[in-house]
Structure 1
C-alpha cells in the first residue's frame, strides 16, 4: 500500500500549489524509500519500459492473427493509352498507309473496391519470436527490480548522509557553545588580571575554527538534503526533516544478523540468465529461417468503369473477382548470412556462460568483502566512540584544572582540539559503517526485503 504521506505529496504537486513559504516534510527512512520508488525518474522509466515490453508481446502475437486490408481506388485517364497493332491481314486496314494501327483500349474512368486477407499457416520464426517477446518481458521485470535496488541503495546512502551531517552540526554547535562560555570566562579573568591576553587569543582562535567547522557542516547538511531529494524525485521547493536517529536505524542485533546471513539470489543473475535465453532463442530463430513459410492468401475485388464519372458507378458496369491461394516461400541460398548469424549466436552464448561463472564468483567475493568491511568499520566505530568519550573526559579534567587554577590555558585548548578531532573521526567512521551496511545488503541481495507495499 502506498504511504499516506506519498499520496498527499503527489496531490499537492498535481494541484500546482505555489507558495513563498517552503513546505517541510517529516520523513523516516521507509517513507523516503516508498516515495523514491514511486517518483524517482529512473524507477518511473523502468516501469514504463515494462509496459513497452508488454505491448511488444501483443505486437508479436498479432503477426500470427489474420491480416485484413481494404482498398479503394478511382482513376481518371485524360488521354486513354494507345496500343499499336500490326496492320496485317486479316485485321489490317489497307486505307492506312502505316504498317501499324493505333488503337485505344480503355475508358476515361475506372474504380474498384477490394479486401485482402492473409493468414500465416506455418512460420517457424513466429513461435520462436513469441517466446522471445515473453522472455524480453521477463527480462524487463528484472531490469525494473535492478533499477529499484539502485534507487534504494542511493536513497539509503543519501539518507544516512543527512543524518550524519545533522549530527555533525549538533556536535559543532555544542563545541561552539562550550567555547563561547570558556571565552567569556577567560575574558573576565583577563580583565581581572588573572590570565594573560594570549589565553584569550588562543580560545578565540579555537572558537573561530569551530565556527568555520559549523558553517561547513551546515553547508554539507544542505547539500546532502538536496542529494536525498534528487534521489527521491522530490521537488526542490520542499524541505525535509528526518524523524529518526542513527541509533534507531543501526541496532547492534541487526548488524549481527546481516553478518550471519548467506547471500540470496541476486537480480543480476536473473538478468544474465534471461539474456542467455534470448540469445538461445535468436539461435533457434536463425535455424528456423531455413524452413519454408506457408501463407494463405485471399482477395475479393469489385471493379467498375465508364466514360463518365456518373456512369462509372452504375451497377451494370461493376463486376466481381476473387482469389484464394496458398504461398510457400522456400529459402535456397542467402550468401551464407544465416550461417554467419548462427555462428555469432554460438559465440555470444559462450560469452554469456562465461559471464555467469564470473558473476557467481564475483558475488561471493562481494559478500566476503562487504562483511569484512562492515566488521572492520564496526570495530573502528567502537574504538572511535571510546576515543571520543576519553577525549571528553580529558577536556572535562582540563577545564576543571583550568578553573581551579592548576591547569594551563594551552592544555585546555589542546584538549578541546583533541575532542573535536575525536568527534570528527567518530562521525567519519559512523558514516563509513552505514555505507558498509548498505553495501552488504546489496551484496546479499536483500535491499528490498524489508519493503512491504
Structure 2
C-alpha cells in the first residue's frame, strides 16, 4: 500500500512539473491540443463511452455462459391444508368425504439450478453487434477529438492574431502620443494651428479606444481557448508559438491525393451505423429459428412436525435432481417480425441515401475550402503589400511634416490609411489561418501531426 502511494505521488509530481513547465515556457499549439485531449470534459465522456461499450460486449458474452443459481426455502405451515378424499377409501359409506391433512408443520427446500444456452441465433448476432457498437464508440471519440482540435486550433490562432494586433496597437499608441506631443510643441512655438492639435488628438483618442477594444478581444479569445482545452479559467496561460512560425503555403497535389471518403469521420460513422442496421436485420431473421437450452436442477427437501428435528439438518433431508433440454420454436407471430424487417430495410436505404448526400457535401466542402484558402492567401499577400506601402507613405508624410514641407492633414490621412491597412492585414491573416483549418478538416487531415 505504501509503495502504491509513493508511485501515485511521483506521478502527480511529474504531471504537476510538466504543467508548471508548460506554463513557464508557454503552450505551443500542439501542447494545447494534447492538454485538451486529456482534460476536455466532452472528450472524457467519449472515452468513458468506449469503456461502457466494452462492458456491453462482455455483458452480451455473459448471456451465453452457464447461468448458475441457488435457492433455499424454509417455511412453517401455520395451518396445514385439508384435502377431501372419498370416505370409501377408509371404509366409510359411499358418497361421503373425509377431510385429511397432508403435509408437515415445517418444510425446508434447497436447490442448485443450472441453465446453459445451446443454440440461439440472436446471441451470435448480438455478440457481433456489440463489437461493432464498440467500434462506433471509438469512432465517436475520433469525431469528438476532431471537433476539439478544430476548436483549439481556431481559438489558438485567434489569440495569436489578437496578441500581435495588440502589440501593433501599442506601437500606434506610442507613435500617436509622440506625434501629439510634437504637434503641441509646434503649436506652442507658433508653427502649427490649434486645429492641427485637435486632429491629432482625435486620432489619439481613437487609438485609446481601439487599444481597449483589442485588449477585450484578447481576453475573450484567451478564455475561449482555455474553455476548449478544459484549462482552469481562473489561471493565466501563455502561448509560445508566434505568427511568424506559421507557414501558410499554397496547395500541392500531395495534400489532396489518396483521399477517400473513409478519411472523413462523418462517413465512417454512417458506415458503421449501416453495419448495425444490417446486423439488426440478421437478428430479426434469426428469431425465426428455434432456441435450444439445457437445464438442470439438484437439491434436497425435508419436512417435520417437530421443530427440533427439523433444524438438525441431518440425514432426513432427501435429495432430488433433474436435467432436461428445452426447445422453443416460433410458429406464427402475426407478421410482426416481417414488418420489423421491412422497417429496418427502409432505415438501411435511408442510410445509404445519407451516404450519397454526405459524399456530395464533402465534395462541395473541399472545392469551397480549396477556393477559399487560395483566395485568402492571395488576399493576405495583397494586404501585406498594401500594409508595407501604407507604412512607407506614413513615414514619408511625417518626415515632410517635421521639415515643414507637408501638412498636418497629410499625416492624419496617412495614419488613418495605415491603421486601415493594418486592420485589413490581420483580418486577412485570420481568415487565411481559419480557412487552412477548415481545409484540413474537409480532407480528414485535422488529426495528422
Cα pair distance change 1:220/1:259, threshold 3 Å: farther
1:158 and 2:158 aligned: no
User: Does the Cα contact within 8 Å between 2:159 and 2:218 map onto a contact in 1?
Assistant: yes
Provide the rounded CA distance (Å) in 1 between the counterparts of 2:368 and 2:424: 23
Match of residue 385 from structure 1: 384
- 2:202 is paired with a residue whose SS is helix
User: Alpha-carbon deviations, 1:3-35, whole Å to 9, x = none?
Assistant: xxx987854799xx9xxxxx7661001111111
User: Does the Cα contact within 8 Å between 1:299 and 1:324 map onto a contact in 2?
Assistant: yes
Cα pair distance change 1:225/1:259, threshold 3 Å: farther
**Residue 281 (structure 1) shift:** 0.5
Matches within 5 A, 1:127-206: 127-206=124-203
**Residue 237 (structure 1) shift:** 2.7
User: Alpha-carbon deviations, 1:219-277, whole Å to 9, x = none?
Assistant: 1111111111111111123211111111212343xx43488523352222221111111
**Residue 336 (structure 1) shift:** 1.7
Matches within 5 A, 1:47-446: 47-86=47-86, 88-91=87-90, 99-252=96-249, 255-257=250-252, 260-262=255-257, 263-264=259-260, 265-314=263-312, 315-446=314-445
Provide the rounded CA distance (Å) in 2 between the counterparts of 1:92 and 1:189: 144
User: Alpha-carbon deviations, 1:343-402, whole Å to 9, x = none?
Assistant: 011101111111122222221221111110000100111111111111111111111111
Provide the rounded CA distance (Å) in 2 between the counterparts of 1:101 and 1:234: 86
Which TM-score applies when normalising by structure 2?
Answer: 0.91
Provide the rounded CA distance (Å) in 2 between the counterparts of 1:108 and 1:90: 25
Could you tell me which runs of 5 or more consecutive residues in structure 1 were left unpaired when the two chains were aligned: 1-5, 18-22
**Residue 405 (structure 1) shift:** 1.4
**Residue 92 (structure 1) shift:** 6.3
Q: How many residue pairs get matched?
A: 433
Q: Which moved more, 1:72-81 or 1:419-428?
A: 72-81
Provide the rounded CA distance (Å) in 1 between the counterparts of 2:359 and 2:270: 11
User: Does the Cα contact within 8 Å between 1:306 and 1:317 map onto a contact in 2?
Assistant: no
- 1:73 is paired with a residue whose SS is strand
The runs of at least 4 consecutive aligned structure 1 residues that moved more than 6 Å come to 6-9
Match of residue 447 from structure 1: 446
User: Does the Cα contact within 8 Å between 2:290 and 2:328 map onto a contact in 1?
Assistant: yes
Provide the rounded CA distance (Å) in 2 between the counterparts of 1:180 and 1:55: 67
Alignment RMSD (CA, Å): 2.3
User: Does the Cα contact within 8 Å between 2:25 and 2:240 map onto a contact in 1?
Assistant: no
**Residue 316 (structure 1) shift:** 3.5
Provide the rounded CA distance (Å) in 2 between the counterparts of 1:327 and 1:13: 62
Cα pair distance change 1:90/1:76, threshold 3 Å: closer
User: Does the Cα contact within 8 Å between 1:378 and 1:433 map onto a contact in 2?
Assistant: yes
Match of residue 31 from structure 1: 31
Match of residue 43 from structure 1: 43
User: Does the Cα contact within 8 Å between 1:305 and 1:311 map onto a contact in 2?
Assistant: no
User: Does the Cα contact within 8 Å between 1:26 and 1:242 map onto a contact in 2?
Assistant: yes
Could you tell me which runs of 5 or more consecutive residues in structure 2 were left unpaired when the two chains were aligned: 1-10
Provide the rounded CA distance (Å) in 2 between the counterparts of 1:92 and 1:45: 80
- 1:89 is paired with a residue whose SS is helix
- 2:107 is paired with a residue whose SS is strand
Cα pair distance change 1:8/1:35, threshold 3 Å: farther
Match of residue 20 from structure 1: none
Which TM-score applies when normalising by structure 1?
Answer: 0.91
User: Does the Cα contact within 8 Å between 1:24 and 1:238 map onto a contact in 2?
Assistant: no
Q: Which moved more, 1:256-265 or 1:298-307?
A: 256-265
**Residue 79 (structure 1) shift:** 2.1
Cα pair distance change 1:249/1:369, threshold 3 Å: same
